[in-house]
Structure formats: structure tokens, C-alpha cells
């Protein structure tokens, strides 16, 4: 035996015995017939009764039990859509789209007719819609327009255990809605993990359990930590394919790049095997799934492989709970996933690769036991599982930038929430639009979103300082950044040019990438990107508008005090203003960093009149 057997809960009902039988079953039965075999179906009437008697209900059930696809339909069938919508929130956009499609097929209606979905930039809801799937972000935005959510009769908050930032914020808002509206129902669905917490939050709301139907999963850990998990996963999948009995394979990876690499390697190995042997190599249907994959390709994971072929799905954690594919007998878990974390240095949320939690690892393993007894291959050691992994994931609210949500909650500036940026940088962009210098501001925002591009090796400090000085724009570090970028651009974005000028080429390239992403968002919002040419006072004005909290007034030589909070702040020796000995009366700065003293990072001189014009609630001219 390779490893230990960690049994997963016992099976209850066993009317699905063999994998083959299930696949044929889903081929031959209509969606309507299949509905009756889902675990949630056996408790349909009790569940509806509990919902009738309570305003808030927490529903707990194994993944695949039918919560997402069935609950909304039951509510519809029970009459809740006569005077309002049944809304169902999803933390992921892929899930919102895919589930809406499935349910609309089941109800034999066009997507967008009775059943719709809404994600950012895309809403197919029509006049006949009764069931609407949406991302939690969409519902959060709707609460700004209609605080009582009057058009919804019921909201199902699905996948609450994922504790997405938006879902967590929605909890608070929906609790209020429930208090205001007696006709409103709220259903929170969750994996077992957090059910009690949710119930407590809603004043001991009843917790309804859907009986599970899972088969034991044999869990095998790696003996040693693996160095290249993509390669290891590919090898494992090939071994299963060649040596193990029928049953589909599900591989968990972190993101698109890896998934594509793994799919490519698998296809190539099957090819090589086919040409190097006379024996027939069984077919392997290789199917990637990640959030950026086009919807029609995503839908392919649900297709049955042709006779004698095996499916191998290579997925992100989207397949952990949001999407359930039947017929999986083998899970290969790399033990990693991507999580959004706030990077204060960049002022942006960024996706980073982390080891998954034990709860997530168990959930992944469980995917192998939905159709029959399965096997999970963990590409990490058992001690990594026991000693290194966190018990449960850290809720998003504790690890991401709250600026955008705070902004949203305040209902400030609408447009601003579209940008994956700190509010101050989003504000700068919008002011750039108003002042017709968006092209320039876009560059500055992108440059501020990456680590410093100035390269200052210790042994060549003087030389590099001199190189930097050549870029200085006397009154502004922001404009200096703009200057650097524009010069790089007019030198065809060349790498050797960067090296010659002591600039980090990687940083500049990253800035260029951020810039093009922001440009895409601006295009979607139909915001025109105009340039002010060299009228850089306009740019400084836009910069000024972004930093009300970070305005400072001259107090002594190189010494300033923050206008609002009175704390001291100093020009940093690397600043253009310091370098050129320019000490304007008023400045704004990007951020304050504390090293030997409080230094302002990235400073621009501003006119006091601008502060008064742009931030009248804070400043006035005496
Ligand atoms: P839960 O929300 O409890 O995890 P779901 O309602 O998402 O469960 O899924 C119930 C069943 O419907 C699962 O067996 C799943 O495989 C099946 N299913 C969901 N979407 C599709 C689809 N697009 N195609 C085929 N089967 C699907
Ligand atoms: Mg679900």
C-alpha cells in the first residue's frame, strides 16, 4: 500500500452503484428525470415546509446534492415567484453562468427567459425571468440602488462557506433587509464547516441538513514532497489511464497556465505512446476548466466521453465545490490553489499561489466518491497535510483590500468600483477623464501599481542617481514617473534602453501590462482616453484630487505636516523635489512610509486653490 486510508463518510442510499451505470443513466434520462435522483429531492417537501415557517434558513449539504440547481426551482414551484424573483448568488462568475444554463435547460426555457444570470458587464435577465443567478458582487451593487431589494422575494446565498468578501458584506446587508421586509426570505447554503456560525449570525436560524450520499475515498499521499507538481500530476494521470479500471480523472491545479501546460503534456504523451506501441492505447478526453475559458468550452466538461474513452478534467478550484461533474473516480490533488490577497505595496488585489487548507483538500478528495468508491492521489506528504496546511481557508475579508467595499458601501462614485484599484487611484483615473488627461493619468496609475522601477545598485549609487535625475520633473514625482514611461515608449519599450538608464525592465513591463488591463476596463465603460499633450498642470491637478488625506503643508526645510492629521512628513532623498531643492508650500503624496522617519513616497507640488476646489469638504482658502 502506498499510503494510509482515510475513510470518508459512509454511503447512505445506494441506488447508484457502478460508474458505468451512472454515465448511461445521465445519457438516457432527461434532466427532469435526473432531478428526482438528487439527494435533495428526498427532502424536498420538508425543506419547503421549514422555509415556509422561517424567514432565514441555513441549508447544509454535500457538494452535488442539488442545492444550487434545485433549490431555486423548488422555490419557484412553491409559488415564491408569483410576486418577485428568486435570486441566487454565486461567488464565481463561471458558476453563475453554467448553473443558469443547466437550470434553463431543465425548465425547457431559453437562457434569459425564465432563468437568467447576471455577472459584471453582462446581464441576460428579461421580463419573464423568475430565477436569476448572479455573482455576489452583482447583488451587492444592486443593494446600492434598492436597499430593500424589493424585486426579490427570496435570496439564496449559495456557497456561503467560501466566505468571499462580497458574501460576507452581503450578510450584514441582507440581515437588515430581512428585518425590514416580513415577506422576504433568505436561504444560506453552506458546506458543514461554517453552518453553525451562519445560524448564530441570523439569530439561531434553523439548520437544515440534506442527507449525504458519498462513497469511501481511498486517500494516498506522496512519500516525499514533489518538486514539479504539474509533471507529477501528468505522470499520475497517465499511470491511472493505462493501468486502472474505468472512471474519469479530475486534476486540481492553480490556474490557466499550468492547466494548459498539463493538458498539452498529457496530449503529447498519449500521442507518443500511440506511435511507439502496437497495442491500442485507450482514448483520453482532455478537458481544461478555469474561469477565463470560453463558456462553450467550459460546458464540455459535462459531456460524456465516447465508449472506451476516459475523461481527464484539469481544473482550478472551481471544481472543488462550485461545479460538480459526475463519474469522477480518481482525483489528483496538487495541494495548491490561487487566492486573492491584498498587496499593500501595489495597492491592488493580486492572485497568489498558496497551499490549500485541509478542508479544501478533503473537499477535493470527496469529488472522487460521488459516483462510486474512488481514489485521491495527493501530490504532497501526509505530514504536509497534517502539520503545514491550515485547517480552513482564511476568509477573504481578512486578507484583501477593503477599500473598494468600503467605497461601495458608502455608495460613492459608481464608476470607481469598476477598477481593481485602491479608491485613490480609481479617483485619479476618473479625474483624469474629467480633466481630459486620462492617457497620462493612466500611465501614472500603472506606474504606481508596480514596485519602483528605479534601479539603484549599491556599488553604483552615484551613477544611478545621476541617471534618475535626468528624468526628474521638478515639481512632481508623479510626473517623473510619467516621463520615464513616455521616454521608454518613445524608445520602442526596449530592454537595453532600460538597462542603460538604471531602470528595471520587468517593473516597466508590468506597468505596461497593468496599463493595458485598465485600458480594457475603460473601454468597456466606454470612457474615452484623451491626452493633454504637455499640459502637465492638468495631470498634477488630477493627481491632487486623488489624495485629500495625503495633502501636506511646508513647515521647515524639507519638512511638512499633513494638513488633516497634523503628523510630520518629510521629503525623501529620492524625490525629484528633494533632489532639485524645490520646496513648494503644498504637496500631496502617494503614501507615507516609516523608516528612520516618516517619509512621503511619490510627491507632487499642488496649488492650495486646487485643494479647495477639489476637496471643498476638507479645505477652504482663507
Ligand atoms: P450542489 O449545489 O449541491 O453542489 P448542484 O445543484 O450544483 O449541487 O448539482 C446537482 C447535480 O447536477 C450534480 O450531480 C451535477 O453533476 C449536476 N449538474 C449540474 N450542472 C450540470 C451541467 N451543466 N450538466 C450536467 N450535469 C450538471
Ligand atoms: Mg452548488
pLDDT at 444 over 80: yes
Angstrom distance (rounded) from CA 245 to CA 330: 10
Tell me which residue of 415, 418, 355 sits closest to 384, measured CA to CA: 355
Report the chain's mean pLDDT, rounded to a whole number: 84
pLDDT at 344 over 60: no
pTM of the model: 0.59
Q: Which residues line ligand 1 (CB under 6 A)?
A: 38, 61, 63-70, 98, 102, 302, 324-326
Angstrom distance (rounded) from CA 465 to CA 571: 16
Question: What are 132's strand-pairing partners?
Answer: 87, 116
Nearest ligand (C-alpha, residue 61): 1
The per-residue pLDDT for range 566-591, each reduced to its tens digit, is: 888 899 888 999 988 888 999 999 98
User: Which one is predicted more confidently, 159 or 74?
Assistant: 74
Angstrom distance (rounded) from CA 454 to CA 472: 12
pLDDT of residue 331: 97
Under DSSP, the state recorded for 39 is G
- Indicate the SS3 state at residue 581: coil
State which of 143-147, 454-458, 574-578 shows the largest mean pLDDT: 574-578
- Mean pLDDT, rounded, for 149-168: 89
- Mean pLDDT, rounded, for 61-74: 92
pLDDT at 44 over 80: yes
pLDDT of residue 247: 95
pLDDT of residue 70: 96
Nearest ligand (C-alpha, residue 304): 1
Lowest mean pLDDT of 13-17, 222-226, 266-270, name the range: 13-17
CB atoms within 10 A of CB 585: 12
- Is residue 340 exposed (0-12), middle (13-18) or buried (19+ Cβ within 10 Å)? middle
pLDDT at 23 over 50: no
pLDDT at 378 over 60: yes
Angstrom distance (rounded) from CA 355 to CA 388: 9
The continuous run of DSSP H or E covering 153 comes out as strand 152-157
pLDDT of residue 21: 36
Phi, psi of 61 (to 5 degrees): -165, 150
User: Which one is predicted more confidently, 231 or 621?
Assistant: 231
Q: Where are the beta strands (DSSP E) in 290-390?
A: 310-315, 328-333, 336-343, 348-355, 374-381
Q: Which atom belonging to ligand 1 lies closest to the Cα atom of 71?
A: 6
User: Which residue among 69, 117, 328 has the greatest number of ligand 1 atoms within 8 angstroms of its CB, and so is best to mutate?
Assistant: 69
- Which residue has 524625490 as its cell numbers? 575
Tell me which residue of 526, 540, 515 sits closest to 606, measured CA to CA: 540
Under DSSP, the state recorded for 203 is T
Angstrom distance (rounded) from CA 41 to CA 77: 13
pLDDT at 448 over 50: yes
Which residue lies with its CA nearest to atom 15 of ligand 1? Answer: 324
Distance 69 CA to ligand 1 centre (A): 6
Nearest ligand (C-alpha, residue 322): 2
Which residue lies with its CA nearest to atom 14 of ligand 1? Answer: 64
75-80 — which CB contacts under 8 Å span 24+ positions?
Answer: 75/48, 75/51, 75/154, 75/156, 76/130, 76/131, 78/48, 78/51, 78/52, 80/153, 80/154, 80/185
pLDDT of residue 581: 85
Tell me which residue of 586, 614, 616, 611 sits closest to 600, measured CA to CA: 586
Q: Where are the beta strands (DSSP E) in 206-270?
A: 207-209, 217-222, 248-252
CB atoms within 10 A of CB 49: 13
Distance 550 CA to ligand 2 centre (A): 45
Is the C-alpha dihedral spanning 435, 439, 443, 446 positive or negative? positive
Angstrom distance (rounded) from CA 240 to CA 236: 6
pLDDT of residue 8: 26
pLDDT at 248 over 80: yes
pLDDT at 606 over 60: yes
Cell of 168: 460576507
Q: Where are the beta strands (DSSP E) in 344-479?
A: 348-355, 374-381
Distance 205 CA to ligand 1 centre (A): 26
Which residue lies with its CA nearest to atom 25 of ligand 1? Answer: 302
The per-residue pLDDT for range 299-331, each reduced to its tens digit, is: 888 888 888 899 999 999 888 887 888 899 999
Confidence of residue 412 (pLDDT cuts 50, 70, 90): very low
Q: Are 547 and 477 in contact (CB under 8 A)?
A: no
Question: What are 248's strand-pairing partners?
Answer: 328
Cell of 544: 491632487
Helices 536-546 and 438-448, axial angle in degrees (round to 10): 50
Helices 438-448 and 423-434, axial angle in degrees (round to 10): 160
Under DSSP, the state recorded for 316 is -
Distance 159 CA to ligand 2 centre (A): 6
607-612 — which CB contacts under 8 Å span 24+ positions?
Answer: 607/544, 610/541, 610/544, 610/545, 611/544, 611/548, 611/551, 611/563, 611/586
Angstrom distance (rounded) from CA 110 to CA 505: 50
pLDDT at 617 over 60: no
pLDDT of residue 6: 26
Q: Are 330 and 240 in contact (CB under 8 A)?
A: yes
User: Which one is predicted more confidently, 71 or 274?
Assistant: 71
Tell me which residue of 69, 87, 68 sits closest to 130, measured CA to CA: 87
Lowest mean pLDDT of 370-384, 462-476, 515-529, name the range: 515-529
The per-residue pLDDT for range 355-370, each reduced to its tens digit, is: 898 988 998 999 998 8
pLDDT at 153 over 80: yes
Q: Which atom belonging to ligand 1 lies closest to the Cα atom of 99?
A: 20
Q: Which atom belonging to ligand 1 lies closest to the Cα atom of 321?
A: 4
pLDDT of residue 121: 63
pLDDT of residue 108: 92
Angstrom distance (rounded) from CA 437 to CA 534: 10
Percent of the chain with pLDDT over 90: 48
The continuous run of DSSP H or E covering 570 comes out as strand 568-571
User: What is the distance in angstroms between the CA of the first residue and the CA of the last residue of the chain?
Assistant: 82
- Between β-strands 348-355 and 336-343, what pairing exists: parallel, antiparallel or unpaired? antiparallel
The per-residue pLDDT for range 489-519, each reduced to its tens digit, is: 999 999 999 999 999 998 899 899 889 888 8
Q: Which atom belonging to ligand 1 lies closest to the Cα atom of 65?
A: 3
Nearest ligand (C-alpha, residue 63): 1
pLDDT of residue 299: 83
User: Which residue among 38, 324, 364 has the greatest number of ligand 1 atoms within 8 angstroms of its CB, and so is best to mutate?
Assistant: 324
Question: What are 544's strand-pairing partners?
Answer: none
pLDDT of residue 20: 34
Tell me which residue of 460, 450, 428, 454 sits closest to 441, measured CA to CA: 428
Distance 326 CA to ligand 1 centre (A): 8
pLDDT at 170 over 80: yes
Angstrom distance (rounded) from CA 372 to CA 328: 8
Provide ipTM, 2 decimals.
0.97
Lowest mean pLDDT of 274-283, 336-345, 386-395, 470-479, name the range: 336-345
pLDDT at 446 over 80: yes
The per-residue pLDDT for range 191-240, each reduced to its tens digit, is: 766 788 889 888 889 999 998 777 889 999 999 988 899 999 999 999 99
- Is residue 459 exposed (0-12), middle (13-18) or buried (19+ Cβ within 10 Å)? exposed
Q: Which atom belonging to ligand 1 lies closest to the Cα atom of 105?
A: 23
Confidence of residue 425 (pLDDT cuts 50, 70, 90): confident
3-state SS string for 479-533: HHHHHHHHHHHHCCCCHHHHHHCCECHHHHHHHHHHHHHHHHHHHHCCCCCCCCC
Amino acid at each position: 500500500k502506498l499510503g494510509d486510508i482515510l475513510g470518508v463518510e459512509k454511503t447512505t442510499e445506494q441506488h447508484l452503484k457502478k460508474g458505468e451505470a451512472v454515465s448511461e443513466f445521465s445519457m438516457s434520462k432527461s434532466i427532469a428525470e435526473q432531478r428526482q435522483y438528487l439527494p435533495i429531492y428526498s427532502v424536498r417537501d420538508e425543506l419547503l415546509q421549514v422555509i415556509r415557517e422561517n424567514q432565514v434558513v441555513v441549508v447544509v449539504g454535500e457538494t452535488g446534492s442539488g442545492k444550487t440547481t434545485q433549490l431555486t426551482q423548488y422555490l419557484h414551484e412553491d409559488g415564491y415567484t408569483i410576486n418577485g424573483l428568486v435570486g441566487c448568488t454565486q461567488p464565481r462568475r463561471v458558476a453563475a453562468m453554467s448553473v443558469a444554463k443547466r437550470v434553463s435547460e431543465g425548465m425547457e426555457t431559453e437562457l434569459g427567459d425564465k432563468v437568467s444570470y447576471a455577472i459584471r458587464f453582462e446581464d441576460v435577465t428579461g421580463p419573464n425571468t423568475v430565477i436569476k443567478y448572479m455573482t455576489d458582487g452583482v447583488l451587492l451593487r444592486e443593494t446600492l440602488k434598492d436597499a430593500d431589494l424589493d424585486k426579490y422575494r427570496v435570496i439564496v446565498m449559495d456557497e456561503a462557506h467560501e466566505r468571499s468578501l462580497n458574501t460576507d458584506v452581503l450578510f450584514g446587508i441582507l440581515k437588515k433587509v430581512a428585518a425590514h421586509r416580513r415577506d422576504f426570505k433568505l436561504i444560506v447554503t453552506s458546506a458543514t464547516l461554517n453552518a453553525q456560525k451562519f445560524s448564530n449570525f441570523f439569530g439561531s436560524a434553523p439548520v437544515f441538513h440534506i442527507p449525504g450520499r458519498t462513497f469511501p475515498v481511498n486517500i494516498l499521499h506522496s512519500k516525499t514532497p514533489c518538486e514539479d507538481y504539474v509533471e507529477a500530476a501528468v505522470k499520475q494521470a497517465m499511470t491511472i489511464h493505462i493501468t486502472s479500471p474505468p472512471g474519469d480523472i479530475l486534476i486540481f491545479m492553480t490556474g490557466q497556465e499550468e492547466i494548459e501546460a498539463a493538458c498539452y503534456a498529457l496530449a503529447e504523451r498519449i500521442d507518443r505512446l500511440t506511435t511507439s506501441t502496437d497495442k491500442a492505447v485507450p482514448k483520453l478526453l482532455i478537458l481544461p476548466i478555469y474561469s477565463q475559458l470560453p463558456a462553450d468550452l467550459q460546458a464540455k466538461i459535462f459531456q460524456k466521453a465516447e465508449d472506451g474513452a476516459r475523461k481527464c478534467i484539469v481544473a482550478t478550484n472551481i471544481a472543488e465545490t462550485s461545479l460538480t461533474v459526475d463519474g469522477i473516480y480518481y482525483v489528483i490533488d496538487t495541494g495548491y490553489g490561487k487566492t486573492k490577497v491584498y498587496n499593500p505595496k501595489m495597492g491592488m488585489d493580486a492572485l497568489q499561489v498558496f497551499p490549500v487548507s485541509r478542508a479544501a483538500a478533503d473537499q477535493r478528495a470527496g469529488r472522487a466518491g460521488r459516483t462510486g468508491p474512488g481514489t485521491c492521489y495527493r501530490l504532497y506528504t501526509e505530514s504536509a497535510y497534517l502539520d503545514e496546511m491550515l485547517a480552513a481557508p482564511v476568509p477573504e475579508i481578512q486578507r484583501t483590500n477593503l477599500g473598494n467595499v468600503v467605497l461601495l458601501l458608502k455608495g460613492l462614485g459608481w464608476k470607481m468600483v469598476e477598477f481593481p484599484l485602491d479608491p485613490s487611484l480609481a479617483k485619479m483615473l476618473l479625474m483624469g477623464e474629467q480633466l481630459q488627461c486620462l492617457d497620462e493619468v493612466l500611465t501614472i496609475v500603472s506606474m504606481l501599481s508596480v514596485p519602483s522601477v528605479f534601479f539603484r545598485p549599491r556599488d553604483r549609487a552615484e551613477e544611478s542617481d545621476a541617471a534618475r535625475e535626468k528624468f526628474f520633473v521638478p515639481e512632481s514625482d508623479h510626473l517623473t514617473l510619467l516621463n520615464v514611461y513616455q521616454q521608454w515608449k518613445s524608445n520602442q519599450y526596449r530592454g537595453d534602453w532600460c538597462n542603460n538608464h538604471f531602470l528595471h525592465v520587468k517593473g516597466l513591463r508590468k506597468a505596461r501590462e497593468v496599463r493595458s488591463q485598465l485600458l480594457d476596463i475603460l473601454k468597456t465603460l466606454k470612457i474615452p482616453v484623451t491626452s493633454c499633450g504637455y499640459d502637465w498642470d492638468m495631470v498634477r491637478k488630477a493627481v491632487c484630487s486623488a489624495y485629500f488625506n495625503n495633502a501636506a503643508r511646508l513647515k521647515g526645510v524639507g519638512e511638512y505636516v499633513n494638513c488633516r492629521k497634523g503628523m510630520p512628513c518629510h521629503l525623501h532623498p529620492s524625490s525629484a523635489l528633494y533632489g532639485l531643492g524645490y520646496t513648494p508650500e503644498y504637496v500631496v503624496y502617494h503614501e507615507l512610509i516609516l523608516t528612520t522617519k516618516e517619509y512621503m513616497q511619490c510627491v507632487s507640488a499642488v496649488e492650495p486653490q486646487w485643494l479647495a476646489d477639489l476637496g471643498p469638504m476638507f479645505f477652504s482658502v482663507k
